[in-house]
Amino acid sequence: NAGVMQNPRHLVRRRGQEARLRCSPMKGHSHVYWYRQLPEEGLKFMVYLQKENIIDESGMPKERFSAEFPKEGPSILRIQQVVRGDSAAYFCASSDTRDTQYFGPGTRLLVL
Amino acid sequence: SQQGEEDPQALSIQEGENATMNCSYKTSINNLQWYRQNSGRGLVHLILIRSNEREKHSGRLRVTLDTSKKSSSLLITASRAADTASYFCATVAIRSNDYKLSFGAGTTVTVRA
């Protein structure tokens, strides 16, 4: 049973470009969460999705960030017009209930 | 602001010794979870303790929860070099929807061979 998969593992973008981060939840999991981790800090909640629905996006910046979890395929976190401050590790987690969340290996985004 | 705060920020111990780290939080919780993160890797779920539980064991891990003091501790017994990692506590607040994990900044544990 494969765990949560994220790709790419590392992503380098220049300022102004778009970043697309993908997350495939564990088999059977319908709840997906995105978190961001800045250097030397803990993870901060961004958004919670179920299939085709955004349940809670209270942790998402108001502009440039969006997330989706389509009926088919992985969940996508999209960051438009990236800035240096977006450099961070982005983690996806999934769960089958609202209990234990299982985390992926993360995508490390570096904005030049 | 962060809900969970770990103490100490960093801990260095000899292999075979026990490692203890603490977590304090601010609001009432549904449950508290401990995660481990190896350098540059994702988080591994270690243990979940519910608000009506006081102590829980898993292998060499022992977690306590004191809701009156709003604190938890994680004890790793007989530490190994492979235990070198950052350890995070994460809480689910009782008044939030029961999915939003709030993480502290973590305790970095180094186990010397």
Residue A1 pLDDT exceeds 60: no
Query: Can you tell me the distance from the alpha carbon of B99 to that of A91, in angstroms, rounded to the nearest whole number?
Result: 15
Residue B32 · residue B72 · CB < 8 Å = yes
Q: Using an 8 Å CB-CB cutoff, list chain B residues near A4.
A: 42
B59: tokens are 């292998």
Task: Output the pLDDT for position A20.
Answer: 98
The Cα-based distances of B13 to B47, B84, B107 in angstroms read: 22, 10, 13
Q: Which of B43, B53, B95, B100 to mutate to test the interface with A (most CBs of A within 10 A)?
A: B43
Task: Output the pLDDT for position A92.
Answer: 96
The dihedral through the CA atoms of A52, A86, A57, A41 has a sign that is: positive
Give a three-class secondary structure readout of B22-76.
Answer: EEEECCCEEEEEEEEECCCCCEEEEEEEECCCCEEEECCEEEEEECCCCEEEEEE
Task: Output the pLDDT for position B3.
Answer: 63
Residues of B with CB under 8 A from a CB of A: 2, 4, 33, 35, 40-45, 48, 88, 90, 97-106
The dihedral over CA atoms of A100, B42, A8, A74, expressed in degrees to the nearest 10, equals: 0
Query: Can you tell me the distance from the alpha carbon of B34 to that of A75, in angstroms, rounded to the nearest whole number?
Result: 25
Closest CA to B12 of B81, B59, B88, B64: B81
Residue A89 pLDDT exceeds 90: yes
Q: How confident is chain B (113 residues) per 10-residue block, as mean pLDDT?
A: 74 96 91 90 91 96 96 97 94 74 91 93
Q: What is the mean pLDDT of chain A?
A: 93
Closest CA to A31 of A10, A6, A4: A4
Task: Output the pLDDT for position B2.
Answer: 47
